[in-house]
Every structure is written in structure tokens, then in C-alpha cells.
Structure 1
Amino acid sequence: MDDHLLVEALRTHEPDAPAAVYEAYGEALYSYCRSRLGDDGAAAVAVRDALIVADTHVWRLREPARFRPWLYALAAVECARATPVPPEPRDDGEPGPRRAARRAVAALSAEARDVLALRYVHGIEPADLAAVTGGADGGLERAHRALEAVLTAEILAETPCPDRDSVTPERPGKYLQHVRDCAVCSPRAPRTVAAAKVFAALPRQQVPRTLRPEVIACFRDPEMVGRRLFVAGRVAEFGQDGFPGPSRRPSGRGGRRAFALVAAATALTAVAGGASLLWGGGSGATSGVARSPAADERTEFPPASPRVKVGEPVRSPRTSAAPSALPVSATVGQGAQTTLSMPPGRSEPAPTRSRPPRRSTPSGGPVGNRPEPPPEDPPLPTPPASAEPSASESPPASTAPQRSAG
């Protein structure tokens, strides 16, 4: 299916959209994640979570033609959350060129290996590499020089040269300069290094048969709603083009904003019980938020915000309810904001104003259309000391009782 059709299917929440995306890119994404993480289970989780994020945030992608590199960028973010497993050393009689290629790639830095694999194994265009990896431009050229240096060092490992010990492949420029100028190293060094051939010599990883049903089931299982909400909410930074932010090593917990997104999405799920969340379906998806085992193992959802009562001052939240706070597969106009219902005839509460200061008017009338403030109350008159109490007043407690006549 064309990338434009895949993007449109995700945006319109077609029931078969996740399966179509997996059929197009699932195995390639697994190969990429497996090469980075070195573990089958971690790679499967990274692919699943990347597709969850893609389904939730596909509306951010400005150019549907860049859907493929965008998916790899999301997979790179998920891989950065996991700890890669170092490859086990192996010398099982593989041919010399293949062994040299494997050792050379293993000697590269993680950044250089990632850039070269994206370009020559997965076919990401050079213009999209920086957006996928989150690195600076020029990374492909630096990775080329690093690969040339480590592969040359692997080929010359059995050729003794006393002067070569003073330079290392970790500084490719000086190392390659020595090889070109050295009478011992230059005849035995490779003339050119083709990165595509080097990576083509690496062994290919088999895709587990259970990967596809597990990924597809994640989008349909009501018990996974909580996990999907959490995964979708922890990726909160995106650029104007829709690609994730420059950082490819986010914190494991996802920060306060991720928890705020999860809380907002969870609250909206409770209100819209019949809404479909990532094809989770119906009221069962709502109940699945509370008892999702995957979500409980990862994080604790914060309590819902207290309701605002009419008449109390409304405090502005610390984080604005921007479109980035949209819940999973739910349609909200301008974010999940608290709305106060006002009485009929009033669109907003009237502001409280202090009484303006009094102004003296020579003519004795009001100034313009502003009403004259009421005069202050006059002081109460003080009764004279000889005044007798009125009949309505009660006598004081110390007054003696009246005697009867006669």
C-alpha cells in the first residue's frame, strides 16, 4: 500500500490500518531494532511501541511521503529507551571477509553504526538521516571515514608495523593518513571501502513468527489500553515536520508531561466510554485501563485532577492543553481543557472591580455618564447626659425595683 494511503488509513482510524502498516514495514523495523538492541524480545517491544506512537501521532506528520523515515525515527526513540545487549564473540570458522566486516562494524561507535545501517541496509535517504537519528548533518561522511579506518585496521591486524602503533582507528584522519604514507601498510590496505558491501556481508536476523500476531493483538486487546495510553503519552516532543524531538535518549520515566498526557487521556476515556481507543473497542477498553498488567509494571498513573467548583478561583495549569496533549485515538477540539458551565445570559464570569476613588465636581453633578458615588453615612448623634431613657428601652440591670404606693 502507498505511504499516502497508509497515513490516511491511520488518520481515519481504519480497523485494518495497523496490520497494513506492519505488513509494509514491520519486519524491516524489527531488523533495525534487533541490530541496535541485540535482543529479540527488546526488539519486538520497540517495534510494537513505535507503531503505537505512529498510530497516535500520525496527525503530526506534515509530509505523508516521509512516512517511512518517520517510522524509523519513532523506532529509534523506542530503541534509545532500552539497554542494548553486547554481541557475543564468535569465531565459528566464518570466511575472512565476512569476519572482517563483522568485527569492523562492531568496532564502530553506536552513532556511526546506526547511520550506516539506516543508509545502506534500510535505504533511508541522506536528507532524512539527521531527522531519523536526531543527530547533526554530516554524520554520514564521518561514519564513512570511521568505517574505512576500522576495516583497514582489521585487514592490517596481522601486518606488523612499528609506526602504526602510535595511531589508532579512533582517530580516523590520522590513522588513514599514516596508512597512505606508510610503505608497509599502504600496499596491503584496501583501496576503497564500500559500506554497502560491508553491511551486506553481515548475518541477517530471522523475524520471529509470533511478532506479527503479537503486534496486531496489541491494537485490539482491551487489556492493553493502559499500555497504549502510556506508550503514546511518553513521546511528547515533536518538531514542526512531525518528527520526534532531537533527543534520541529520553529518560526512562518520560517526565512530568508524559504522565500529564496519560492522566488526561485516562480521564477522557472514563467520560467517553463508548469511544474506540486504538481499535480497543467499546466499554471493555475503558475498564482495561485499570487492570492492564503491562501498564502497572511500568508506571503508576497519577490521580485525576479535582473538579473545579463554580465560584472558586480557577488556577491556570502549569502545562497548557495544546494539541500535543491529545489522548489516544480520541478527537478533541483544542485539547482536554476544563470547561465551566455558566448561567444563561452570561458567557463568562464578571470581573471583580474595586470602587473608584471619589472625584470632586464643581457643579455638584456627576462627571460624564459615571454615577456619583453615594455619600458616606453621617455619624450617629450622641444623646445628652441628662436624657431620660425612652419607654421602649429596658432599664439597666443595676436599677432598683419600683416600690408600690401606699
Structure 2
Amino acid sequence: MSAWPSLDRSDDLRLAQGMAAGELDALAQLVDRYAARLYDYCHALLRDQRSAASALHDAFIAAYAHTGQLSEQDRFRSWLYALARNECLRRLQDPDRPTERYEAPEVDDVFMDAEDRASRQETRQLVHSALSGLRGREREALDLLLRHGLIAPEIGGALGIGDQEAADLIAEAQRRLDDGLAAAMIALSGRDDCPSVAALVDDGQWPLTPPTARKLIRHIESCPTCMNRRNRRVSTGRLLQVLPVALLPADVRPAILATAGAPAPADKVQRIALAAEPFDEWGWPISKEQRPQPEGRRASGPPRLLPAVVAAAVVILIVAGAFMWLPGDGPDKRTGAQTPPQTSSAPDDPSQTPSDTPTSPSESPTPSDTPTTETPTPTPTPTPTPTRTPRPSKTPSPSTKPPHRGALSVGGCGMGLHEDTCSISVRAVGGSVTWAVIGTSGGVRAGGAGRLNAGASTTVTASRPDSCDGGTSGTVRFSSGAAASVTWVCAEPSPDDPGKPQQILRHPMAE
């Protein structure tokens, strides 16, 4: 069950501003705030703990590099989910992705006894039956709504669709979930009241398969007896609390901060930042579902029509298939951090992945206590966020030329007596620039990365060492080859000997 608290969007705005300024502390706070949620979301898409951790890592590094481009910082939360989703889609598209998947252990509730766990498992099977009739994107939307606490415009941003389309998707998903839950409840308790129900579920298979769930839903609509029972509403939000949440690996946070902070290898930061591109004019990542595939060698055989459309459709099928695995993968699957992970085979061909329509019985495995992240829980009371008019299509025009790459101009800075930090100016000249701090000298501490459009500028905060033993100057090196000089004053002349400096304590009041 998710224990995530409701988050204040004003804090998101504060962190977005800090990220845009290249503050490593803002990134650390953002990781503490969102890593568990976003890892759970990535795991729902990828169904592999290592791939999910890799996608999460790159999403945070990309956010650290590109937050300065985001013109709608009040929508920072949705933007983070869009970045994480794109990282997952990029991995799903990778033809070399591993065929073996190791699912993450579940966040456990240590206060539950054996009886509670058995009851929870029964309820999970009920919810699995209710979800089996939903399409993959509907499940994804409900996951973002009910468990992650996003509202319709934020879900639209995360999925790369307009606000109204997102609202329509959510409404349809909720309606279908209500229908599916009613069918599952009637399958459990309505066989004696209606012979047709008994005939439809006579095979005794539980949870319900998608075809059986659809048949029951159609039957209920035309059966007065079942319709009367169907009108006895059950809170889907409360029921969905029982579904599992993937456990965030302990090494993810330090790995993210190690990559973002100096002295991270420049090529690694730049590679991650560039892989997240392109972004639209508002600073939103172009969805992998909307990007035309790059030109390459064509396979022999008849020409294929609309390759970009086909490629996008394949990605949609993959994502839909990933969310069709909720909420478990079989009663024999071992779980928990103490047990060795069990593998499951991923489809070799994306075209064989379950489609965005309800799957066949073989594609709807029996649930267990295995972790899954498509599991919705009650919606936290959201703080309203402003809506925006739909952005134009994020699909770049084929004739659009890449922006001209410019040069990075940096300016040094100095710290006066009793000052601990100063700001290095960073500016793009003659075109857009992707930059990163790759190292320092003289005990200076600094970090940051990002992308600047032509003429745009930002600052990097440099901190001096605690001791003056190593001198009073240092440098900050950037990936472009530029270096900024940093100086500081840490002593003042003695009244008795103006030519001889005295050591000044960093914190005079400490004595």
C-alpha cells in the first residue's frame, strides 16, 4: 500500500527554481520527495527493477540539466513524470533490452499478520478482476490519478496529450473500472441470484479473465437482477489501497547525486541530457510516442507506409502491455527482499506485446503479493493547478533544422571576507549550448548541468573550502573546456603587522 503523503505544489515550484539555478541541494530534495513515486511508476512500465532504477536515475539527471528550459514551472510535477515516462519508453524501444526481467520486491507492511495478508490477497484478486477489462492507457491514467495524486491537466502533460483528452480518458477509465468492479462482485456473490452469471463464470477461474469480465459487464446492463446489485456502489479508491508498491532500491539516491555533483564525468552527464532531447518550445520533452524514427538502413522487402506512425503505435502497444500485468504475475512468484528474484520472459517482438485492448486469458496472469506499480490508491486532495491551452503538436516538422550550437561563456567570481559562496555566470553565445560542471580545483565546490538557448544565461554557485591552508583561489571547469576562476579572502591584516595576514575563523561566534 502506498504511504505517500500529499505534496504541496508550492514546494515543487521552489525546487524547480533551485533546479533551474543548478543547485545540487534542490536536486537532493527533489529526489527525497519524488524518487519513491517515480520509481514505482517506472517499474509499472518496465517490470524490471534494474531498468526502472536506470530510467529513474536518467530522468533526474535530465531534469537537473533541463529544468531551466521549462517555461511552465508551476507544472513541474507533471513535467517530471513526462521525463520519467520518456526514459521508460526509450528503454522499451531498445532492441537490445534484456529478455529476462527481475521485478522489484514489494514495500511491505510490517504490522500485518498472516490473516491480514490472506485477506489482502483476496481483495487484490477482486481488484485484479475489476482492472482486467481496462485498456493499458486507462490503467496508466488511473494509476497517475488515484495513487500518484496527479490531476487531469498534469496527467495530460505526463502522457503528452491535451487537457481535455486527459479528462475524457480519466472519465472513461473510472467508468470502466466501476463496471469491472461490479462484474467482479457479482461474479463472487451473485451466482445464486442469476443463472446467467453462474453460466458465465462456471469455469471457476478467478480472478476473472478479460473476456469473462467483458461478458459479465454486457450481461449486467441487460439484467434487472444484476443491475440492482450493480447499483450497490463500492469505493474503488478504498479497494485499490490493497495493491502493492515497488520498493525503491537504497542505492538510487546516492547514484543520482554522485552523477550530478562534481566531479562527475562530463560525457555521462551530457549523454543523459542529450538523450532526453528534443524539447518543445515550452521546454516539455517530446513524447517518444510522437517522435519520428531516425533515418537508417531499410530492411529488404516491400516498402512500409508511415514508418513513424507504425513506430509510435508499437510503443503504445508496449506501454499498454506493461500496464496489463497489474497487479501480479502468478501465485508461484517469490517476493520480498530476502528471496532471490525470479525472472520472467519479456516479449521478443514488440508486436507480440499485449495490445491496448483487453487481453486474452493467457495475457492476464493470476495476481499474487508481487509488487506492481500500476496499483491505484485513494486520491490525495490535490491543490488546484492552473490549466493551460493545449500546446501544438509536439511532433517536430521534418523540415525543422536542429538549432545552431553555440559557445559557452563563463565568468569568474570572488568571495569577500566572511563570505562562503559566489555565483559564476554561464551564458550561451551564438547558439544553444548543453553544459555541465566537470571538475574543480583549489578546494572549490560546485556542480550543475543544463542547456541554454542562444543568449540565455544562468549561474553556478561556487563554495570555498573551510580552511585557507590551500590558498585563496581555485577554478571550476566546464564540459566545453571553459574554466571560471574563483577567489576568496580568508584573512585580514594584523593591526600590529599589516603585511602579515591572520587566519580568520569561518564562524567567529563558534568560540
TM-score (norm 1): 0.57
Deviation at 1:112, TM superposition (A): 0.9
Structure having the higher strand fraction is 2
Deviation at 1:264, TM superposition (A): 5.7
The separation in 2 between residues aligned to 1:18 and 1:261, in whole angstroms, is: 29
Report the equivalent of 2:175. 145
Cα gap change, 1:236 to 1:277, in 2 (>3 Å): closer
CA contact (8 A) 2:130 2:177 kept: yes
Report the equivalent of 1:218. 259
CA contact (8 A) 2:39 2:246 kept: no
Report the equivalent of 2:474. none
Confirm whether residue 9 of structure 1 aligns to residue 18 of structure 2: yes
Tell me, what secondary structure is at the counterpart of 2:83? helix
Report the equivalent of 1:67. 76
Report the equivalent of 2:139. 113
CA contact (8 A) 1:116 1:195 kept: no
Report the equivalent of 1:281. 439
CA contact (8 A) 2:39 2:56 kept: yes
Confirm whether residue 40 of structure 1 aligns to residue 161 of structure 2: no
Deviation at 1:49, TM superposition (A): 1.2
The separation in 2 between residues aligned to 1:247 and 1:171, in whole angstroms, is: 34
The separation in 2 between residues aligned to 1:99 and 1:75, in whole angstroms, is: 29
Deviation at 1:117, TM superposition (A): 0.9
Report the equivalent of 1:209. 250
Deviations 1:289-326 (A, max 9, x none): xxxxxxxxxxxxxxxxxxxxxxxxxxxxxxxxxxxxxx
Deviations 1:17-37 (A, max 9, x none): 321221222222112222232
The separation in 1 between residues aligned to 2:250 and 2:49, in whole angstroms, is: 12
The separation in 1 between residues aligned to 2:184 and 2:225, in whole angstroms, is: 15
Deviations 1:98-150 (A, max 9, x none): 32113433553221111001111111112222111123331101111222233
Aligned ranges for residues 72-91 of structure 1 at < 5 Å?
72-83=81-92
The separation in 1 between residues aligned to 2:279 and 2:259, in whole angstroms, is: 24
Cα gap change, 1:32 to 1:328, in 2 (>3 Å): same
Confirm whether residue 161 of structure 1 aligns to residue 319 of structure 2: no
The separation in 2 between residues aligned to 1:56 and 1:183, in whole angstroms, is: 59
Deviations 1:215-237 (A, max 9, x none): 21121365643232222213334
Cα gap change, 1:169 to 1:38, in 2 (>3 Å): closer
The separation in 1 between residues aligned to 2:39 and 2:20, in whole angstroms, is: 23
Confirm whether residue 329 of structure 1 aligns to residue 450 of structure 2: yes
Cα gap change, 1:330 to 1:182, in 2 (>3 Å): closer
Deviation at 1:205, TM superposition (A): 2.2
Aligned ranges for residues 343-354 of structure 1 at < 5 Å?
none
Deviation at 1:332, TM superposition (A): 5.9
Tell me, what secondary structure is at the counterpart of 1:6? helix
* 2:285 maps to which of 244, 267, 280: 244
The separation in 1 between residues aligned to 2:20 and 2:200, in whole angstroms, is: 57
Report the equivalent of 1:192. 233
CA contact (8 A) 1:133 1:248 kept: no
- Cα RMSD after superposing both structures: 4.2
Cα gap change, 1:203 to 1:242, in 2 (>3 Å): same
Aligned ranges for residues 267-346 of structure 1 at < 5 Å?
277-282=435-440, 329=450, 331=452, 333-334=454-455
The separation in 1 between residues aligned to 2:211 and 2:155, in whole angstroms, is: 23
Structure having the higher helix fraction is 1
CA contact (8 A) 1:49 1:231 kept: yes
The separation in 1 between residues aligned to 2:239 and 2:103, in whole angstroms, is: 18
Tell me, what secondary structure is at the counterpart of 1:185? helix
Confirm whether residue 20 of structure 1 aligns to residue 178 of structure 2: no
The separation in 1 between residues aligned to 2:212 and 2:404, in whole angstroms, is: 48
Structure 1: where are the runs of 5+ without partners? Answer: 270-274, 284-326, 336-406
Report the equivalent of 1:340. none
Report the equivalent of 1:51. 60
The separation in 2 between residues aligned to 1:18 and 1:254, in whole angstroms, is: 36
The separation in 2 between residues aligned to 1:104 and 1:221, in whole angstroms, is: 49
The separation in 1 between residues aligned to 2:253 and 2:30, in whole angstroms, is: 11
CA contact (8 A) 2:24 2:261 kept: no
Tell me, what secondary structure is at the counterpart of 1:329? strand
Deviation at 1:152, TM superposition (A): 3.1
Give the stretch that moved more between structures: 153-162 or 68-77.
153-162
Cα gap change, 1:216 to 1:188, in 2 (>3 Å): same
The separation in 2 between residues aligned to 1:33 and 1:254, in whole angstroms, is: 28
Give the letter aligned to residue 245 of structure 1. Answer: I
The separation in 2 between residues aligned to 1:58 and 1:41, in whole angstroms, is: 25
Tell me, what secondary structure is at the counterpart of 1:78? helix
Give the letter aligned to residue 91 of structure 2. Answer: A
CA contact (8 A) 1:33 1:47 kept: yes
The separation in 1 between residues aligned to 2:14 and 2:66, in whole angstroms, is: 16
Report the equivalent of 2:160. 134
Which has the higher Rg, Structure 1 or Structure 2?
Answer: 1
Give the letter aligned to residue 29 of structure 1. Answer: L
TM-score (norm 2): 0.46
CA contact (8 A) 1:46 1:79 kept: yes
